Amino acid sequence: MSQSQPRPARVRFAPSPTGYLHIGGARAALYNFLLARQTGGQFILRIEDTDRKRFVPEAEADFMENLRWLGLEWDEGPDKGGPYGPYRQTERAALYRQYAEQLVDRGHAYYCFCTPERLAKLREEQRRKKLPPRYDGHCRHIPLEEAKARVAAGEPHVVRFKTPREGSITVHDLIRGDITVANKDIDDYILLKSDGLPTYHLAVVVDDHLMRITHVLRGAEWLGTFPLHGHLYRAFGWEEPVWVHLSTFLKPSGKGKISKRDADIFRKDHKSVLVKDLREFGYLPEAVDNWIALMGWSYDDRTEFFTLEDLIEKFSLERLKPSPAAVNFKKLDHFQGLHVRALDPRDLAQRLVPFYHRAGYTQVTAADLEPIVPLIQTRITTLDDAPRLTGFFFEDEVHPDPAELVPKGLTPAQALEVARRALAVLEALPDVKAATTEPPLRALVDELGLHARQVFGLIRVAVTGQRVSPPLFESMEVLGRDKVLARMRQAVALLEALAAQDTAPQGD
RNA sequence: GCCCCCAUCGUCUAGGGGUUAGGACACGGGCCUUUCAAGCCCGCGGCCGGGGUUCGAAUCCCCGUGGGGGCACCA
């Protein structure tokens, strides 16, 4: 055990159900999860669904499904409950109103009756005057009794934070240090919307406090309102968690953030920033975890391969980096390769099954794939490469391009002769085990005075229908004698036709 | 327009007052080789700019510049 005994961390991933889990969210979830597991604490899933306009019904299920796929199981959440529930903010609505009123009563917040129209006009004016858009405090000084009466009378209203007009506030981010902002630059943010639901600012502070969150690891997009959150904690008199703002992800060029447009372009290229896509494209969760873990965090100056277990052991907040990181899909492919090769072949065979089914090989089982896996484990990147590379094993027949049966430097007639000789060698053998077929076929190469690549290349195309395939002798062994011989005979026939056509008198 | 954050090879990063500035991906070359991979070896390539502090700055400070985020009854 390590000599320092960190206190158990209670951390959370708190997505808004307005879209699908993307790598930015997944990374935040991963780091939170790692901290919880490393310290023996709890990892909480909380759904921040207070924006009813942008609500996407299937989003919550997507988060849960893909978080689990990544191996990031939570201890408390909407589906499994816990001592600090409920874990969906819309189910906690009454709570926020109560805390908002508490702030009003203590003079830290006020009711505001301004209409959206008035606010729009105000902002327009400020934009014209090149002033920062900010609430003008119109309702800030309405006597509390009067305001309460209007609220009681049912007048539409919101609750705003009464940001101090003077002075400044200093908040602390673990990896950035102190951040000081003048209060005049902080707006009177809305805490409670007219629909009675809280904004992020109120909800996050109330929930993190009530749920005893010890560390907040969230995206850097919250840096701007971080000072407001500091004010809220102080107004409530609550102890703040440790704050860490995670660096943002940039597009692969490093120039600019990833737009919706960029995301669509990635998908055309079999890449994506959505976890569900990566899963569908045949990436391993191990590879995705490894990849995102290293965008904004490092262990040392050389170690890059990590399993989730490794990460739980080695993760540390101190080694988080504050600077933005460009996503690099080539690096994802690299990690994918490392993890594919690290997999137990039988495990890989099982994971491959759904990809064969999807490719149309619906009868394929893990047992069928076990002899094939060793032939392709170093040759595939994403899992859906496998059926493309090895579909010929499961086809009744293959359809080689006759031209590809002719090795470089040979005429069709010469190729035909090679095919006949190779077929004769194979027919004379008792089986097509690699150890059986390789020596006599190599002998044939010598006898014919050709290069191995010429003869084996011809057989490869004949037997697999492809110019690129797994190693020839092992492939023939898996294919079996009947299919090997049938396909060789087919190749001979194809070459006979080609040779005949080749030697036929040419029209002028 | 205002506020905040960030800055080492193309990209992810290590390091950090005196180093041949280290690793990885990508890229180029070689080895291996029945194709394609994998593996191994070699190479290319970097401290954003300007001031200051200092015997000495890539490292500390300031100012620029560049990039990012925010300035909603969205999160």
Q: Is the pLDDT of residue A123 over 50?
A: yes
Nucleotide nearest to A200 (CA to C1'): B75
Is residue A326 helix, strand or coil? strand
A304 touches strand B (CB under 7 A): yes
Q: Beta carbon of A290 within 7 Å of strand B?
A: no
pLDDT tens-digit map of A460-477: 999 999 999 999 999 999
User: Would the CATH topology of A10-87+250-332 be identical to that of A89-246?
Assistant: yes
A260 touches strand B (CB under 7 A): no
Catalytic member of A260, A268, A330, A408: A260
pLDDT of residue A501: 79
- CATH number for domain A343-393, candidates 1.10.8, 1.25.40, 1.10.3470, 1.10.357: 1.10.8
* A165-182 average pLDDT score: 94
Average pLDDT over residues A311-335: 96
Which residue ranges make up each domain of chain A? 10-87+250-332, 89-246, 343-393, 402-503
Mean pLDDT of A428-440: 96
Please state the rounded mean pLDDT for residues A358-376. 97
> Averaged over A95-109, what is the pLDDT?
97
In the 40-69 segment of chain A, residues within 7 Å (Cβ) of strand B are: 48, 50-51, 53-54
In the prediction, which pLDDT does A504 show? 60
CA A200 distance to own-chain centroid: 25
Instruction: State which residues between 311 and 350 of chain A bring their CB within 7 Å of strand B.
Output: 319, 321-326, 328, 330-331, 333-334, 337-338, 341
Q: What band does A5 get if pLDDT is binned at 50, 70 and 90?
A: low
The pLDDT value given to residue A505? 56
A419/A489 Cα distance (integer angstroms): 8
The whole-number average pLDDT for the span A342-362 is: 97
Domain range A10-87+250-332, CATH class:
alpha beta
Relative orientation angle of helices A285-293 and A329-342, to the nearest 10 degrees: 130
Quick check: A507 pLDDT over 60? no
Is the confidence at residue A1, as pLDDT, over 50?
no
Mean of pLDDT over chain A: 95
For residue A357, name the pLDDT band (cuts at 50, 70, 90): very high
From the C1' of B5, which residue's alpha carbon is nearest?
A: A223
Asked if A68 and A175 count as a contact pair (C-beta separation under 8 A), the reply is no
ipTM of this model?
A: 0.95
Question: Is A502 or A405 the better-scoring residue by pLDDT?
Answer: A405
Architecture of domain A89-246: 3-Layer(aba) Sandwich (3.40)
Name the architecture of domain A402-503: Orthogonal Bundle (1.10)
Is A330 one of the catalytic residues? no
Q: Are A198 and A191 in contact (CB under 8 A)?
A: yes
Maximum Cα–Cα distance for chain A, whole Å? 108
Indicate if the pLDDT at residue A4 is higher than 60: no
Q: What is the mean pLDDT of residues A135-139?
A: 94
- Beta-bridge partner residues of A257: A250
